[in-house]
Amino acid sequence: MVPIFSLWLPILLSAVFVFIASSLIHMLFSYHYKDFNKAPDEDKLMDALRGFNIPPGEYMIPYSGSPKAMKSPEFQEKMSKGPGLTMTVWPSGRPSMTSSLVQWFVFLLIVGIFAAYVAGRALEQGAAYLAVFRFVGFTSFVCYTVAQWQDSIWFKRSLRRTVTATFDGLIYALLTAGTFGWLWPE
């Protein structure tokens, strides 16, 4: 076993490398521009929604509130008429990139800690690069990607968006695994 403290450098550096890679992916490549679609008559839709003064949060339309209510004729009619949607309402104004970037970096550190824990329990000091790469790569891939898959299943998130996020997660996992393999204690 390798104590998690002795893995602080690969935890930190892998977070830095993934942070840089994710920034480059989003600034240099355009494939994420197609993750969302523009709503028809966007201005009119925004004006209509603004009139409801909806507080920031997660919403589902139509919303039943309980399994019993889902069986009601009124709810069934709303579902039949459509549209059904899930939406996230943000506060008005420009979102803070600083806050999001700080949270993203903290998330990357947490993924590194999880990967360090799993690999550190399974491997000894001086483990082969490929053994470290496998444990850390698999663990970090699962952390970066798998939780997103259920959004395509349950919330009808586009499969394309899920696949591109999974591709990004694969890149991040390879960087994380490579960093740990390189800096694994002798």
Domain that holds residue 105: 4-37+95-183
Q: Does 149 fall in a domain?
A: yes
Stated pTM of the model: 0.89
The pLDDT value recorded for residue 95 is 84
40-51 pLDDT per residue, tens: 999 999 999 999
Predicted confidence (pLDDT) at residue 186 exceeds the cutoff of 90: yes
- Crossing angle of helices 159-183 and 8-28, rounded to 10°: 140
11 domain residue, yes or no = yes
Report yes or no on 56 lying in a domain.
no
| Mean pLDDT value across residues 117-125 | 98
User: What's the total number of domains in the chain?
Assistant: 1
Q: Is residue 50 part of a domain?
A: no
Please check whether residue 136 lies inside any domain of the structure: yes
Question: pLDDT for 59-90, tens place per residue?
Answer: 999 999 999 999 999 999 999 999 999 999 99
Higher pLDDT, 154 or 137: 137
pLDDT band at 170 (very low <50, low <70, confident <90, very high): very high
Query: Is residue 127, in this structure, part of any structural domain at all?
Result: yes
Residue 167 forms part of a structural domain? yes
